[in-house]
């Protein structure tokens, strides 16, 4: 199931279109799935459970129709909660291609913990980024960020063991720059005004300090604990 919101009320996201996808798409490869995912707490968790159970949302085709109807150039975020189409670790190619086509002319962006080494995952991610639907590879640690960046199939983000609300720019063990998401420490910045995560060609890795009800667990993952 997929839920489409035409104008988000989230203060960090800003007033852009957003989506939520069933938790069945979340991969076993994501260590945050067991504990540490920000989407498992608060009002978002209630909404996400309703989408996962089928009480809210609709089909992929309905979602694609909503996306295709957006004005050209619209910045929108796919999956405030959930992952790319396909249950578990695998990406459903046909469904992903439908999303890529619907996004034509738009500035969609999202994040994935689906493992690139599995099946066609890497090729699908690379194609999506090449065709303008930005898929950020989600890293668990700075060393993992280096591994994902070396694949050269898309931009990378990483969870940071840092105090929420502070800027914690750093570098990876491989010397790659990590810039903390400005919306996490500045009240005058949102996804709507930033758009960094929608860039398919950026080299800087975007860092997100562990946050949410289970931020301690997420911080431990970032430390490799």
pLDDT tens digits for 128-147? 999 999 999 999 999 999 99
Task: State mean pLDDT over 178-202.
Answer: 96
Q: Does this model's pTM top 0.85?
A: yes
The pLDDT-based confidence of 219 (bands split at 50, 70, 90) is: confident
DSSP states of 94-131: HHHHHHHHHTTTSEEEEEE-S-TTSTTHHHHHHHHHHT
User: How far apart are alpha carbons 160 and 21 in whole angstroms?
Assistant: 24
pLDDT tens digits for 9-60? 999 999 999 999 999 999 999 988 877 687 887 888 899 999 999 999 999 9
């Amino acid at each position: 199931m997929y839920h489409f919101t035409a104008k988000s009320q989230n203060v960090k996201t800003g007033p852009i279109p957003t989506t939520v996808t069933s938790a069945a798409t979340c991969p076993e490869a994501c260590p945050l799935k067991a504990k540490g995912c920000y989407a498992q707490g608060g009002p978002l968790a209630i909404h996400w459970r309703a989408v996962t159970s089928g009480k809210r949302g609709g089909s992929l085709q309905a979602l694609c129709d909503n996306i295709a109807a957006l004005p050209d150039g619209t910045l929108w975020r796919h999956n405030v909660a959930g992952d790319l189409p396909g249950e578990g670790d695998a990406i459903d190619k046909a469904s992903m291609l439908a999303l890529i086509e619907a996004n034509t002319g738009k500035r969609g962006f999202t994040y994935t913990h689906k493992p690139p080494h599995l099946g066609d995952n890497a090729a699908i991610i690379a194609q999506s980024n090449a065709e303008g639907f930005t898929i950020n590879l989600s890293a668990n640690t700075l060393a993992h960020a280096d591994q994902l960046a070396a694949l050269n199939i898309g931009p990378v983000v990483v969870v940071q063991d840092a105090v929420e609300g502070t800027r914690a720019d750093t570098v990876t063990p491989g010397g790659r720059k990590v810039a903390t998401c400005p919306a996490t420490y500045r009240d005058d910045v949102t996804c709507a005004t930033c758009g960094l995560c929608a860039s398919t060609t950026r080299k800087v890795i975007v860092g997100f300090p562990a946050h949410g009800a289970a931020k301690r667990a997420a911080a431990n993952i970032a430390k490799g604990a």
